[in-house]
Amino acid sequence: MLQLKNRIAIVTGAAKGLGYATVKKFLELGAIVSFCGRTQESVDKAVKELAEFGQVDGYVCDVSSKEQVRKMVKAVGEKYGRIDILINNAGIVRDAQFYKMTDEQWEEVINVNLNGTFYFTKAVVPYMIEQKYGKIVNISSISAINGNFGQCNYAASKNGQIAFTRVLGKELGKYNINVNAILPGSVESAMISDMPPHLQEMRIKATALKRMGDPEDIANANAFLCSEWARHITSQTLTVDGGRS
């Protein structure tokens, strides 16, 4: 049976959505999880709901702030003495056609999606190198491959995560650290529910399975890649999109 018993995990952007589902899944599998969200209210709410499944800590952290990231990782490391798993899940969209896209829209997406991944990984890796063990999963997107209309900034950030994953896995393999990426397709979320119904239907029709993904589908993939079942998998991308790509 797949287990993560007593593994110390960090999941970013997990007060709701895919990250929340991953925290819940990890707790159910025996992990001890620390996660971050954007506001104290959302973090407190998530901790209250998730506490019934296991030992969980919530932090307010802006992943685009290296100072806040370092502070959170230091707190987790000091509390538990090790960090075994990192899920770089936090991400945002600021969609616009390129000729209408502002500098701020570009920079905000790159800062959260790509720089945030760098900052958390940079802070966590020293723990993993010292203990000669670690699992890192970066949540990218099929937009990195398909290039969805109006998402130059988002696609660039997510493709950056893929390249980051491939190189880092090769560099860290000698320390028994696995680094992989997941490419979700359309998954039930606030982001998707805000879309007009006809666009949601188009996305469903584009999949082989003719359904929208569920956050638990991504949580299951995260659990697999962070388990010993995937110990010989690194520098890879796992597409979880219902056969859309």
Return the beta strands (E) in 82-233 as ranges. Answer: 85-88, 134-139, 177-184
Q: What is the dihedral of CA 92, 94, 98, 103, to 10 degrees?
A: -90
Question: In Å, how far are 41, 58, 63 from 45, measured between CA atoms?
Answer: 6, 10, 19
Angle at Cα 179 formed by Cα 127 and Cα 203, nearest 5°?
135
* Phi/psi-derived region of residue 65, left when phi > 0, alpha when psi is between -120 and 50, beta in every other case: beta
- Spatial distance between the Cα atoms of 241 and 187, rounded to a whole number of angstroms: 8
Write down the catalytic residue from 59, 99, 154, 175: 154
Give the other-Cβ count within 10 Å of 220's Cβ.
16
For residue 20, indicate whether it is catalytic.
no
* Strands of the 56-60 sheet, one edge to the other: 56-60, 32-37, 8-11, 85-88, 134-139, 177-184, 237-240
- Spatial distance between the Cα atoms of 114 and 119, rounded to a whole number of angstroms: 9
**CB of 12 within 8 A of CB of 89?**
yes
Active site residues: 154
